[in-house]
Amino acid sequence: MKTYVVGNWKLNFTVGEASIYLHKLSKSLPNYRNLEVVVAPSMLALQPLSLQVDRRRIKLAAQDGFYRDYGAYTGEVSFSQLRGLADYAIIGHSERRYVFKEDDKTIQKKVAAALRNKIKPILCIGEIESERAFGETADVIKDQLLGGLAEVADDNLSKVIIAYEPVWAISSVKGAKLASPDEISEVINIIRQTLSDTYGPESAEKVSVLFGGSVSPSNAGAYLTIPGVNGLLVGGASLILHEFIDIIEIAKKVQA
């Protein structure tokens, strides 16, 4: 199974800055076997970067997409328009859930639309601090996971990547704190058991699960050695070239 390092640039970098960063990153990376490096630029930068990127070294992800393929939806970009530009799409990120108020029904439509258009969805799930404090983590994780996968058939499950990103551990959230390996392992087990119960053990084993939440070079190795974790979703550290490269190199060493 592949190891993934996904950099989510969020609302950062102009088109020119993104192009320069991608050029420098590509020059720094060899062709890795079974290690997938992915960056998610802004929607504005995605198209020009798709003409520049060396897909043998780096894949592109969209940060979002709209679930209708076409129509009167001013300001939206559909997954059908992203087809051929992005290999992956981040769906259900906590900022989409809690800032833009996306619900599980909207997210499940986006997952289905991505798959329909040959784009691999990275389905993000994770609890907020109060949900963890009240012992609701397992219920929240199961609801978000099964809600997002509601329109995914068994034969498409392996095309979906799950990213566990506890909201209380994201560096941009006020009062964020680092998640411990034990806390992460507990949720990874919940995710994998839920997938196994729903789709069967054989199908569940084919699903890649990532962790995201204040990932940095100092903790990447510890997170990647947690059983059941197949990669990392990196936020702030992916904006700093040398830190992102360090995380990629750590992932390669752990994989070896």
Using the predicted structure, report yes or no on whether residue 256 has a pLDDT greater than 80: no
pLDDT the model gives residue 173? 53
Q: What angle do CA 171, 175, 177 make, to 5 degrees?
A: 60
Q: Coil, helix or strand for 215? A: coil
Alpha helices in the chain (DSSP H): 15-28, 43-52, 79-82, 94-98, 104-116, 129-133, 137-148, 181-199, 201-205, 220-224, 241-255
- Partnered with residue 204 across adjacent β-strands are none
Out of 93, 95, 127, 243, the active site residue is 93
Using the predicted structure, report yes or no on whether residue 233 has a pLDDT greater than 60: yes
Q: Coil, helix or strand for 199? A: helix
CB 231 within 8 A of CB 208: yes
Q: What percent of the chain has pLDDT over 90?
A: 91
Using the predicted structure, report yes or no on whether residue 162 has a pLDDT greater than 70: yes
The verdict on whether 95 is a catalytic residue reads no
The residue type of 71 is: G
Using the predicted structure, report yes or no on whether residue 174 has a pLDDT greater than 80: no
Instruction: At 133, list the tokens.
Output: 């404090």
pLDDT the model gives residue 31? 83
Q: What angle do CA 105, 37, 2 make, to 5 degrees?
A: 80
Domains (ranges, CATH) in the chain?
3-255 (3.20.20.70)
Q: What angle do CA 17, 20, 22 make, to 5 degrees?
A: 105
* Dist CA 141 CA 253 (whole Å): 30
Cβ count near 77 (within 10 Å)? 17
Binned at pLDDT 50, 70 and 90, residue 178 comes out as confident
CB 77 within 8 A of CB 110: no
pLDDT tens digits, 145-161: 999 999 999 999 999 99
The verdict on whether 129 is a catalytic residue reads no
* Dist CA 205 CA 27 (whole Å): 34
Cβ count near 167 (within 10 Å)? 21
Out of 36, 95, 131, 165, the active site residue is 165
pTM for this entry: 0.96
